[in-house]
Structure 1
Amino acid sequence: MRISYLRVSTADQTLASQRLAIEKALGEAPEREFVDEGVSGRVMQREGLDACLNALREHDSLHVYSLSRLGRSSAEVIRLVQELTRPVEQGGRGIILRSVTEALDSSTPTGRAFIGILAVVFEMEAELTRERTLAGLAAARRAGRVGGRKPSLTPRQKKQALSLYEQAGERPIDIADTLGVSERTVWRAIRDARATRAKVHGKEAMPV
């Protein structure tokens, strides 16, 4: 079965352009369509995506306008892509994934290679993010700026927490351990860092 998933982040956007691009690439309308309208990729619960993932069966094809429609962060997108496209005998779901923007078709050798490259690049970026963060924390300790658990984080540390969460795919509880604060403080730091980013850029940038 050919299934499409569409998502727009704000109420004043429409799904028409995504739908048209998918139908043009497919040559016809998909057999089923799931949507999340006016729902940010950062929202934890997305009913359309959840229903879409539940409907998919082995050998079905999932069509999206962009891979960024599938997750809240690069880490989540890559994990979901790998889970969907990995063969069932290897613990995956055996789904064919096609994305218009990235010209991705996971049923082809080129498409599978592209997914592998994405995973490798993400792992490199995640490791670099961890190294930079740990190096910064170590320098702060040497300078005597870190001692015991703190009730709050500096703007720089909040940005580090957001990078570890979105880019490195770290769990908030692990970030809390790294930064020497509570998990609740980490969630607050992520929220504050996103708010600051939204003010600077006018909107939250979508992950690749």
Structure 2
Amino acid sequence: MEQRPMKHVIGDNEESVVADINVTEVGNGAFNPLRIPAKYKWTALFLVITLPIGHTWTGSALGPLKNTLREELGINNTQFGVISSADAFVNTIFPIVGGLILDWWGPNIVTLFCTSIILVGSIVAAVGVQIGFWRLLVSGHVLMGFGIAVLDSATQKFFYHWFGASGLALAFGLESAISSTVGLVSGMVAIPIRDQTG
């Protein structure tokens, strides 16, 4: 929002007073991101950036574990391709529906719902790996896809809520950098973790 002083004349006689009115302070009680203290902005940024870390970690670990999954689940390359693209299948249409849901109910409730779906999907995927049933692993990734499709939009809405137009690019840049770093670390440590845990 543009922050410019506006001249306002009070009174209509010779003793009229001219006052400076700050445009950002005038409004209908709407939330003003320019007034949020920096410590709250940085705390919110940290918390919002951590929302998709689990899904990013899981997705990045699949590639290095391809041979392990093929051996333990008894699957071929086509079936592994289905596993690795299961969450992307949901992201073709559902973000539109998710955006409507996000506009209707707001980011707070929708984010809790999305993270819960991602958690349930992760548990289903883990159970699928433990019992050696690859279709259950696919189901878990589809569930995670439903959650992450809307969570991305909710994250962007949170960023705009807390930063407005000021600092928004920095918030997006930090989120992208953290996500890429998590993906890199996940790919690097997937095999050592497998070797250590069996």
Q: Structure 1-normalised TM-score?
A: 0.28
Q: Structure 2-normalised TM-score?
A: 0.29
Report 1 or 2 for greater relative contact order, CA contacts < 8 Å, sequence distance ≥ 6: 2
User: Considering only CA atoms, is the larger Rg found in Structure 1 or Structure 2?
Assistant: 2
Q: Which has the higher strand share?
A: 1
